[in-house]
Structure 1
Amino acid sequence: MQGAAAGRWAVAACFFVNGFLVGSWAPQIPLVASRFGLSETAIGLLILVFGIGAVLAMPACGYLISRLGSRPVLRVASILCALSFAGLAIAAEVWQLAIALALFGMVLGAMDVSMNANAVAVERGLQRAIMSSSHGFWSLGGFAGAGIGGLLIEQVGYALHAGLVVGFCLALVLLALPFLIAEERAIGGHGAEGARRGLPRNPLVYLTGVIALFCMLPEGAVLDWAALYLKQEMGAGIAEASLAYTAFSGTMAIMRFAGDGLRNRLGAVKTLRYSGMIATLGMLGAGLAPTPLIATFAFAFAGLGIANMVPIIFSAAGNQPGLSPGAGMSVVTTIGYSGILVAPSLVGFVAERTGFSLIFIAFSGMLAVVLLMARLVRSADGIRVETAG
């Protein structure tokens, strides 16, 4: 139990570092555009390269975790992840930047799968949920990386900012890595062998991936398009429009830190159902809102619901019967993140013809489907202790 308690904070540090690196990249993007004279389309393609790198690494990482366990994979991936951020500043040509982004995406994706798989191991060791608060640390890291990064770049420039990010993240992971715990290797011979031979055969893990996709697409849509929705279709100013995602991410971060307690009390299925109800109503309200203020409140309400949906689904993926945590996690994360790659351009294409209001209404329907499929995440309750009252 003591090892699992220390491992809980070690994996939380990994989630924070992963979020901090993603957040630190955000303020670098405008500078990349000016350094290389890139158009919005070119920047979009580079971001696509970053995402493709992450998605390609996820199945390979799941295979490695099934062979070696999450701890050694996370140790290597987190160190490489911290170091790879330097490549974004060192690149002197566009092709070098593309390679640096692909590598950065690959190690971020590997770290994502392995840290979620290790969080499942911690949940089993502690016999209670910690996945939601772990994702809360990711949100906190992203908030800190983006906020501090913008200030640092203004003061010291993009190159020194990258160096400071690498130094900070490397120091934090080196402090945390000795305390990571290893999952029990007796996961079940059939599951481990199946992971080695190829893709999992159990259709439930793929349905779980679809549920993750249906949760992650609305979350990504708010990030990419909420401000434009308020500005173009409701006439909000830039400052007012930016509050939509700020409110959404703020309520989501707060609820993620409260989510483990709710899940330990209610169970994964009930928590996902209640979360789905709130998320569906919030997203529907945002699509039907008559004013920017009401839409902002609706997005904030949706954030309360969406916050714990993905952590619950990831925990279910890591507790699939007869399947190693890494194998289940890699399938679900790959399906979820693959959709996010396609979604921004698809949403933009459709919104030009229908407007964003119908887009957010459609996403509320997608969240309602998750609500109806909530029983599929009951494997997430496999970590809970059976008590008699």
Structure 2
Amino acid sequence: MDATNMIETAKRGRWAVATAFFVNGFITGSWAPQIPVFLTRLDMSETMLGLLLLLFGAGAIVFMSWCGYLIARHGSRNVVRWFGPAAALGLPIVALAPSLPLAALAMILFGGVIGGMDVAMNANAVAVERRLSRAIMSSSHGFWSLGGFAGGGIGGIIIQSYGHVVHAVLVAVVAAILLAASLRHLIAEERHIATGHRKFSLPKNPVIYLIGIMALFSMVPEGSVLDWAALYLKQELGADIATAGFAFACFAGTMAAVRFMGDAVRNRFGAVTTLRVSALIAASGMLVAGFAPTPWVAIAAFAFCGLGIANMVPIAFSAAGNQPGMSAGAGMSVVTTMGYSGILVAPSAIGFIGQHVGFSPVFISVSALLIVVFLMSGLARHADFAPKAQLAE
């Protein structure tokens, strides 16, 4: 295959993996309006719902950890092709669960296939970056945010008009159609598969775990704003419910918008510089939000924080997938597992702390985590690409 055909193949692969990100976000976003129905349909308490949501997170983390092994043996393209269709079926399985025990099992599987697809599509995005010799990770995550916005935005309307089962089936159909049109265009990265039986093992390079800490500290703020910013504005700053809802909306809006510009910024200034500036922006926004005297100052600060958070996780993921002497799948599995625990696990601890000391000190403390990312940002140097990489694949 000549260089021109390789680039054309990579470009098609770029849009194929972007579609995978959109589908994953669309399914995840579509789950949010299902939650109230899920609660009342199974006649459970909020505490039980919290436990089931924790099972979703546990399933995601377990499958994410396992996915690095699968990607190393079979390639990210094949793993996306396996987990993508399974993820499309996840929401109907949860929506049809008739009892709490079956709902618990459904939540573990749903979280698992969503998490497994997430690791594989991020690893495949790294393969596309290598082939094109330019960053695409930020915009790929932008497509995830766009999918989440679409799924969450129309889900409630469909559920109210046609019911939760029809909604879940429609989500599965839309996801299946998009995946059927795109999965065949995913590119295959160069792999070195060991012969014989290979046991699952974690990477021994300590740098990958430090990058995982960067991803974790970059995603804790996202989970904090998602779960607790509205309550902070309402309880501590006196905002009404409508105003409090703008906290995460503005944060997510600026984050999604910047993700579509983030690759050009990173290609221009480099991963390390982009990460350093992003971490400072995010830390300053979170710090101002913690000290905010009024709800609208806090909302503006959260929006400013979103400008910085947008590119931090994509850069950490690219650095993980490009670590020397390590497969993209192995590095990605570790870093995504550590990073996503910032959204799946950390918010419960933040809620416990916030109920005892208030959320203002929590957001101030979270800004300190972002300063740690600033200090560690030199570890992202392998996220950049040499021009010759385009022909190396």
Q: TM-score, normalised by structure 1?
A: 0.96
Partner Cα separation in structure 2 for residue 320 and residue 386 of structure 1: 14
Partner Cα separation in structure 2 for residue 84 and residue 340 of structure 1: 20
The one-letter amino acid paired with 2:309 is I
Residue 316 of structure 1: which of 314, 319, 324 is its match?
319
Residue 135 of structure 2: which of 108, 129, 132 is its match?
129
Q: Deviations over 1:57-89 (max 9, x none)?
A: 012111010011100010010011101221011
The equivalent of 1:53 in structure 2 is 59
Cα deviation, residue 341, structure 1: 3.1
Partner Cα separation in structure 1 for residue 113 and residue 16 of structure 2: 18
The equivalent of 2:163 in structure 1 is 157
Partner Cα separation in structure 2 for residue 170 and residue 381 of structure 1: 34
**1:257 matched to 2:260:** yes
Q: Deviations over 1:3-43 (max 9, x none)?
A: 00000000000000000000000000001111111111111
The equivalent of 1:333 in structure 2 is 336
Partner Cα separation in structure 1 for residue 71 and residue 174 of structure 2: 26
The equivalent of 2:70 in structure 1 is 64
**1:116 matched to 2:119:** no
Cα deviation, residue 384, structure 1: 5.2
Partner Cα separation in structure 1 for residue 286 and residue 334 of structure 2: 27
Q: Within 5 A, what are the aligned runs for 1:348-359? A: 348-359=351-362
**1:236 matched to 2:242:** no
2:384 alignment partner, SS class: helix
The equivalent of 1:298 in structure 2 is 301
Deviates more, 1:349-358 or 1:332-341: 332-341
Partner Cα separation in structure 1 for residue 63 and residue 314 of structure 2: 20
Partner Cα separation in structure 2 for residue 374 and residue 272 of structure 1: 6
Q: Deviations over 1:79-120 (max 9, x none)?
A: 111012210111111111111111111100110000000000
Deviates more, 1:32-41 or 1:224-233: 32-41
The one-letter amino acid paired with 1:181 is I
Partner Cα separation in structure 2 for residue 297 and residue 77 of structure 1: 38
Residue 74 of structure 1: which of 72, 80, 94 is its match?
80
The equivalent of 1:376 in structure 2 is 379
1:181 alignment partner, SS class: coil
**1:40 matched to 2:46:** yes
Partner Cα separation in structure 1 for residue 386 and residue 46 of structure 2: 45
Q: Name structure 1 gaps, 5 residues minimum.
A: none
Task: Indicate if the aligned counterparts of 1:14 and 1:78 stay in contact, CA closer than 8 A.
Answer: yes
Residue 224 of structure 1: which of 220, 224, 227 is its match?
227
Cα deviation, residue 184, structure 1: 1.3
The equivalent of 2:96 in structure 1 is 90
1:308 alignment partner, SS class: helix
Cα deviation, residue 349, structure 1: 1.2
**1:106 matched to 2:109:** no
Runs of 4+ off more than 6 Å: none
Task: Indicate if the aligned counterparts of 2:17 and 2:124 stay in contact, CA closer than 8 A.
Answer: yes
The equivalent of 1:21 in structure 2 is 27
Task: Indicate if the aligned counterparts of 2:69 and 2:200 stay in contact, CA closer than 8 A.
Answer: no
Partner Cα separation in structure 2 for residue 176 and residue 197 of structure 1: 30
The equivalent of 1:170 in structure 2 is 176
1:228 alignment partner, SS class: helix
Task: Indicate if the aligned counterparts of 1:116 and 1:314 stay in contact, CA closer than 8 A.
Answer: yes
Q: Name structure 2 gaps, 5 residues minimum.
A: 1-6
Taking only the aligned residue pairs, the percentage that are identical comes to 60
Cα deviation, residue 199, structure 1: 1.1
Partner Cα separation in structure 2 for residue 278 and residue 100 of structure 1: 39
**1:144 matched to 2:150:** yes
1:27 alignment partner, SS class: helix
Distance change in 2, residues 1:383/1:219 (3 Å): farther
Task: Indicate if the aligned counterparts of 2:76 and 2:121 stay in contact, CA closer than 8 A.
Answer: yes
Task: Indicate if the aligned counterparts of 1:120 and 1:131 stay in contact, CA closer than 8 A.
Answer: yes
Residue 274 of structure 1: which of 273, 277, 283 is its match?
277
Task: Indicate if the aligned counterparts of 2:323 and 2:331 stay in contact, CA closer than 8 A.
Answer: yes
Partner Cα separation in structure 2 for residue 305 and residue 65 of structure 1: 30
Residue 180 of structure 1: which of 165, 175, 186 is its match?
186
The one-letter amino acid paired with 1:274 is V
The one-letter amino acid paired with 2:351 is G
The one-letter amino acid paired with 1:360 is F
Cα deviation, residue 345, structure 1: 1.8
Cα deviation, residue 338, structure 1: 2.8
